[in-house]
Copies of this chain bind each other. A is one copy, B any other.
Amino acid sequence: MFSKTCEYAIRATIYIASEYKGEEKIGIQDICKNIEAPQHFTAKILQVLSRHDIVSSKKGVHGGFYISEEQRNTKLIDIVFAIDGDHVFTGCALGLKQCSETKPCPIHHKFKPVRESLKKVLQDTTVRELANNIKKGKFVLKALGI
């Protein structure tokens, strides 16, 4: 559904939001260990997220990644857009370039509910909400777990 890049992006963002409490910023090693993602790759992704104002970062000693109250309101759809673009939402399920409402591919209309359902979930879900659920211990972010 999403690229691996996007999966790591979401996991990293949620982890930062669930860990950052306004004090020490979160280091890249901490992040990668806890979401089980490759460090260099994730660092690159976080730079993109930072440029898109989805997370914040600070260089130098005591630097790291963090997230503002404002940024906690980011919706999942914003992350997907920033990383994967609009392909998931607009792209034709059969890969046809000119597929559209007026020139639909054979399954275009049938897929409308799927696309809408996906869009709705991503629109309705904020980083804040997911981070809060993590804190309550209801969910898992690690790839392997215990």
Q: Which residues of B contact A125 (CB under 8 A)?
A: 107, 110
Evaluate contact between A7 and B121: CB separation under 8 angstroms. Answer: no
Evaluate contact between B130 and A98: CB separation under 8 angstroms. Answer: no
A59 close to B (CB within 8 Å) = no
A38 close to B (CB within 8 Å) = no
Evaluate contact between A139 and B104: CB separation under 8 angstroms. Answer: yes
Given known contacts A94-B10, A98-B145, A113 and B121 CB-to-CB distance under 8 angstroms: yes
Q: How large is the interface on A (under 10, 10 to 19, 20 to 34, 35 or more residues)?
A: 35 or more
Evaluate contact between A143 and B96: CB separation under 8 angstroms. Answer: yes
Task: Determine the distance from Cα of A123 to Cα of B23 in the docked complex, in whole angstroms.
Answer: 51
Given known contacts A97-B144, A98-B145, A106 and B118 CB-to-CB distance under 8 angstroms: no
Evaluate contact between B133 and A106: CB separation under 8 angstroms. Answer: yes
A4 close to B (CB within 8 Å) = yes
Evaluate contact between A107 and B76: CB separation under 8 angstroms. Answer: yes
- Name the interface residues of A101-142: CB closer than 8 Å to any CB of B: 103-108, 110-111, 113-114, 117-118, 121, 124-125, 130, 133-134, 138-142
A2 close to B (CB within 8 Å) = yes
